[in-house]
Structure 1
Amino acid sequence: MRIRSPSLPELHAFAALAKTGSFSLAAESLCVTQGAVSRAIARLEAHLGQTLVTRRGRRSELTPVGQTYLQSVAGALEQLESSAQALQTNGRRRALRLSVTPSLFSKWLIPRLPDFHALHPEVALSFVPYRRDDPLDAAEADAWIRSGDGRWPRGIRSDYLVGRELVPICSPGDVRPASPPLDAQGLLSRPLLFHVHYPDNWRRWFEAQGCGDAQPQPAAHFDQVSMLVQAVIAGLGCAVVQRCLIEEELASGRVAIACGRSVEIERGYHLCYPAAQRDAPALAAWREWLLEQAGRH
């Protein structure tokens, strides 16, 4: 069978020239000489019987035929490069075992993970079971994301990520434009939903609003933030939660900020890891990416 397609060096030279607009820059990007690029383009044009490139001084431009041909081969070249990279990195993928607090995992981390996988295909993440009382030295994990105030056992380093901002939330129907605006005193008359493990959150929030003598009473208790938020959506009452855990619900309009300013607390989510492992390649990549994501938040 006669092979009609050009050689890969010719196609790569053509794509590099199209991208840079310069024979010298194309040569630099491919780590070859300018003459090698020029000869590759000449062979490609001779093979196809078409003029693909025109020179305009030091710059080079694709002809209409060249532009059309680039559109038809660019995707195939990209696929070939991606396939080669995947095979090359597969044999040296670095594993990183992580234990993550479930609430932050499902509400904040998972929606962002595709970005990490795209940036670091060489790191294979493995999420091990979460245990609330894990002493942070278990052999099953390399790093942890935990809720706390930053005081960890000796030998463990940490970086604060998100979670110190508390906000009161309610059903969107409670803050319609036609309704009187809610304030801290108004919230005291509403059913207040409490988190079993953090029953002091409402008192902290009312104190920050100047209601230090408030005695908020629970209408119901929930042991998971997801249940607490679902109860608010169902109209059972108002809750105070960490803002990082309700990004999706706020964006979709399923919950609304009830009133007042947010409150900063000492507790938040931290990336924890053994100090001796900080510079391990997989952990370093994970840490850098997490801090960048937290900075955006």
Structure 2
Amino acid sequence: MSIWNILPRMHWHLPSLSALRTFEAAERHMSFTKAAVELNLTQSAVSRQIRLMEDYLGVELFQRVNQRLAVTEAGRAYAEEVRRVLHSLQEATLRLMSYQEQGGILHIATPSVFGVKWLIPRLHSFYSKHPDILLNIVTRSKPFDLESEKLDVAIHWGNNDWPNVVAHPLVGRELVPVCSPAYLQSIGTVKAPGDLAKAALLQHARRPNRWQEWFDAHGAGNVNAWAGARFEHFYLITQAAVAGLGVGLLPRMFVEDEVKSGRLVMLFDDGFEGSDIYHLVYPEHKSNDAKVGKFREWILKQAQEDGTKGSAA
């Protein structure tokens, strides 16, 4: 008797992968025609696949309401799950296709502005030293869950108050107030920190006390430090300052190009250091991971060479 007759068989109660892709596209576009264009099929082929799926599942996925396509409640719930599974399958496939036996893949999460302004311009030196390691970089605007998102390392901005991780300070502690030349002209001369009382102060939504810290450090604690629009990202604050919406308090490293080009004016240049800084963080159990170790060594050296607060501790 063959061993294949002894082993238990898996019975998958699933529509075909092509049918699932068709259903996902149809639900996302809420149109069989648009799904057909995306998948390079005919509209009748899409309609037929959906009908066969409904027959197989015994559940109605779409309805026609006033000659318009509408997804049923069951169809919407199923589409969300199908979309999640297809994304996971795609990620697994891409990881397999890009797998390199010697170095492997290092999964990194970073705030988008840090990735664009600081990390990516320096990556050529990492690849020159470690061409066998493939980097998979994703961006996040909020704190990441390293374990659930299967990340190896992440870049966090804060004061090292994250549990169960190893954190190394990198860059970004020095903050400078900037605005557009036109905005500066509109509010008049700014010679002392207290003169910013007449300005709109662009706020970082997750760090609302930064302006107050800056004024306190400059002996101008009586200024209303919360008078201004709030933004979730440094990038948005930078663009708001360039657009003349007010004065932004931003890491020097993010506005150097704008200051050099004349799009922004640095109002004071006294090296004020806030309490937060960008950190390299990773789970404690990855401390001895070879890929993490190589990236840690490289990025800490980059931070030190940047003349900032990088540390190899």
Does TM, normalized by the shorter one, top 0.5? yes
Structure 2 counterpart of 1:224, from 220, 225, 233: 233
SS at match of 1:250: helix
5+ unaligned residues in a row in structure 2: which ranges? 1-98, 307-313
Structure 1 equivalent of residue 155 of structure 2: 145
**Is 2:111 the counterpart of 1:111?**
no
Structure 2 counterpart of 1:201, from 201, 210, 220: 210
Structure 2 equivalent of residue 31 of structure 1: none
Structure 1 counterpart of 2:295, from 281, 286, 296: 286
What amino acid is aligned across from residue 168 of structure 1 in structure 2?
P
Structure 1 equivalent of residue 105 of structure 2: 95
Percent pairwise identity:
33
Structure 2 counterpart of 1:213, from 211, 214, 222: 222
Structure 1 equivalent of residue 3 of structure 2: none
Deviation at 1:180, TM superposition (A): 4.6
Q: Spell out, residue by residue over 1:264-294, the C-alpha distance to the aligned partner (whole angstroms, 9 max, x if none).
A: 2221111111233223221111111111111
Structure 2 equivalent of residue 242 of structure 1: 251
What amino acid is aligned across from residue 185 of structure 1 in structure 2?
G
- Residues 192 and 238 in structure 1, CA contact (< 8 A), matched pair in contact too: yes
- Residues 177 and 249 in structure 2, CA contact (< 8 A), matched pair in contact too: yes
Structure 1 counterpart of 2:137, from 123, 127, 145: 127
Give the 3 Å change call, closer, same or farther, for CA 117–272 of structure 1 in structure 2: same
Deviation at 1:109, TM superposition (A): 1.1
- Residues 173 and 277 in structure 2, CA contact (< 8 A), matched pair in contact too: yes
Give the 3 Å change call, closer, same or farther, for CA 124–193 of structure 1 in structure 2: same
Give the 3 Å change call, closer, same or farther, for CA 159–249 of structure 1 in structure 2: same
Structure 2 counterpart of 1:275, from 247, 270, 284: 284
Structure-1 separation of matches of 2:305 and 2:110? 20
List aligned pairs for 1:141-180, cutoff 5 A: 141-154=151-164, 156-173=165-182, 180=189
Give the 3 Å change call, closer, same or farther, for CA 129–195 of structure 1 in structure 2: closer
Give the 3 Å change call, closer, same or farther, for CA 175–153 of structure 1 in structure 2: same
Structure-1 separation of matches of 2:304 and 2:139? 27
Structure-2 separation of matches of 1:181 and 1:235? 16
Deviates more, 1:137-146 or 1:286-295: 137-146
- Residues 208 and 226 in structure 2, CA contact (< 8 A), matched pair in contact too: no
If you compute each CA radius of gyration, which structure gives the higher value, 1 or 2?
1
Q: Compute the RMSD of aligned alpha carbons.
A: 2.4
Q: Spell out, residue by residue over 1:200-231, the C-alpha distance to the aligned partner (whole angstroms, 9 max, x if none).
A: 11111111111122223423222222121111
**Is 2:273 the counterpart of 1:258?**
no
- Residues 111 and 139 in structure 2, CA contact (< 8 A), matched pair in contact too: no
Structure-2 separation of matches of 1:260 and 1:247? 12
Corresponding residue pairs, total = 206
What amino acid is aligned across from residue 101 of structure 1 in structure 2?
P
SS at match of 2:268: coil
SS at match of 1:246: helix
Deviation at 1:173, TM superposition (A): 5.0
SS at match of 1:96: strand
What amino acid is aligned across from residue 221 of structure 1 in structure 2?
R
Structure 2 counterpart of 1:182, from 166, 191, 194: 191
Structure-2 separation of matches of 1:259 and 1:131? 28
Q: Spell out, residue by residue over 1:117-142, the C-alpha distance to the aligned partner (whole angstroms, 9 max, x if none).
A: 22221111012453624333335111
SS at match of 1:211: coil
SS at match of 1:146: strand
- Shift >4 Å, 4+ stretches: 173-176
Structure 2 equivalent of residue 10 of structure 1: none
SS at match of 2:279: strand
Deviates more, 1:273-282 or 1:141-150: 273-282
- Residues 94 and 122 in structure 1, CA contact (< 8 A), matched pair in contact too: yes
Structure-2 separation of matches of 1:206 and 1:114? 39
